[in-house]
Structure formats: structure tokens, C-alpha cells
Amino acid sequence: RRGQLARPPNKSATMVGSSPHPDENTPCSRPESREARRIVQTHIVTLSEEAGHGELAPSCPLSPHNDVLAAHEAAKRRLSGAVWKCGLCGKQFRSERHLDLHMHRKHADASPAGATSCLADECDLLRCPSWVKRLGDAAAACTEGALAVRREHCAALMHSCAFGPLFAQLEHEYCANLTCSYRQQLIAGHIDAHP
């Protein structure tokens, strides 16, 4: 339904240590979605453009066309320091968090029609910084079976976003690393989340 940010819970993400969205009134974590969006833009879109594919296809769940919060993020303006302005109605706020709450309450209809992706749900695949910080707490609960489900989801996700050598590269960089041993290396600091 147009304008609603709610979507079915991502049970497989929760099983492997992804946190529930911290604000009960906001079904999609805006801070984690910002982290995921940054990774998608700086890494996945860049690789797609370098491979000659251009932007991500509208059918790709990581595409801005499917991002339930992309329109809100595009309408935010930082004026100075901690002062933020809503580009949709002009109201000013003392923090980005308050602007986020305003966007959720007053401008839910600004989401693109058909947008269904909460990028925060993919933080375990994209290795968002906040997810990596929480990883140590979830390490004991890591199960290869749950990660196998996430690897399958990841491969399907990347397949909908890329093809050919680019798909193989994305699948190798993001999906193949969905293992408990890789997570243990991340926790120990032996590898970087985004080399």
C-alpha cells in the first residue's frame, strides 16, 4: 500500500543477529537504512557503473526505487550544526532524529508507490557498521543453518541486482562471507568489514 512503511518482519535476519528496529513507532530503522544506503551507493552502485551497467535496475530491492525511506532522505536538509529542515514542508528541527520522527508521522505518503525495501533489513549482508558493532553479542548464537538461509537470500538479492561477472563478484564479496567463521574473524578484528 502506498505511503505505509510497514512490511513483514524479516525473520531470517533476526535469527542471525540482526537487531529489531530500535524505535517501536518506526518499522524501518532509519539510522541503519542510512548506513546500508551508503554502502549500496559507495560500493554496489559504483561496481555496477564500472561494469557498464549503470544504476541498479528498478527490480533490484537495493535500488532507490524500492527503498521505503529514500524519498524522506532526499527531502532532508542540514542547515547548520544540528539544525535540520524538512524539504517537504519547511519545518525546522534541532536534530536529525526529530526530523526522522516528523517524516514518519507527517510525510509517510512521500514513499514511492510500490517501494517495499527497508535497507536496514540487509545490514547483516552489507555488514553495516552498527551491525558489526552488535555482532560480538550475537556471536554465540551464530548457526550455520541460519546463515545458509541468509546466503540463499543474499544470492537471490544480488541476482536481482546484477548479472554476469558483476553478480559473481557481489555474490563472492557479500554472500559467500555469510559464515560463522567469517563473523568470528570480524569480531576479532582480523579482517575489515569493507576492505
Residue % of the chain over a pLDDT of 90: 51
Mean pLDDT of the chain: 83
Contacts for 155-163: CB closer than 8 Å, 24+ residues apart: 157/61, 157/62, 157/122, 157/125, 160/57, 160/59, 160/60, 160/61, 161/44, 161/48, 161/56, 161/57, 161/60, 161/61, 161/62, 161/63, 162/48, 162/51, 162/53, 162/60
pLDDT of 1 strictly over 60: no
What is the per-residue pLDDT across 80-116, written as a single tens digit (0 to 9) for each?
Answer: 888 999 999 999 999 999 999 999 999 988 887 888 8
pLDDT of 9 strictly over 60: no
Calculate the CA dihedral of residues 109, 100, 92, 81 and round it to 10 degrees: -150
pLDDT of 2 strictly over 70: no
pLDDT of residue 75: 95
Confidence of residue 15 (pLDDT cuts 50, 70, 90): very low
What is the per-residue pLDDT across 138-186, written as a single tens digit (0 to 9) for each?
Answer: 666 788 999 999 999 999 999 999 888 989 999 999 999 999 999 888 8
pLDDT of residue 139: 60
pLDDT of residue 168: 92
